[in-house]
Structure 1
């Protein structure tokens, strides 16, 4: 595998190796990839937690009788338009 890096990135990798924390550039790259994987997992966990919060709010509203009745495609389109409008705020 061949990877092209900018001079700045090469310099940063070289500095990590020279710091003594890593034996070679491959270790730096592997650690960076592990960190990226961990970061992505963390972001997914946050998104999932937020979705669960939103679902709980919706279920609570339904249990209080605050649901919206959808009887037609037009009703559904209006609801989606309203939701999109809220998301743009």
Structure 2
């Protein structure tokens, strides 16, 4: 596989090698790919978690366990205000 990089990316890779953190350009690229793999795993896990939470909400809604939007936003606003006050203390 051949990969073409922009001048900026080549310079970045070379600077990473120059710091001594990586022994070669290949190590820098492999580290970047590993980070991408990890990020994808995290996103996939979060996506699946959100799907489960949505299903819980749908099921609760079907049982009639709902709260009107104004109440929800008021509650969120109150929590946010409390956190701001705590952070300011």
TM-score relative to the length of structure 1? 0.68
TM alignment of 1:1-89, pairs within 5 A: 1-64=1-64
- Where structure 1 has 5 or more consecutive residues not aligned to the other structure, the ranges are 67-89
Task: Give the root-mean-square deviation of aligned CA atoms.
Answer: 1.6
User: Helix, strand or coil for the counterpart of 1:47?
Assistant: helix
CA distance 1:25–1:57, shift in 2 (3 Å): same
Shift of 1:65: 7.7
**Other structure's SS at 1:2 match:** coil
Residues 18 and 60 of structure 1, relative CA distance in 2, 3 Å threshold: same
> How many residues get paired?
66
**Under a length normalisation based on structure 2, what TM-score does the superposition of the two structures give?**
0.68
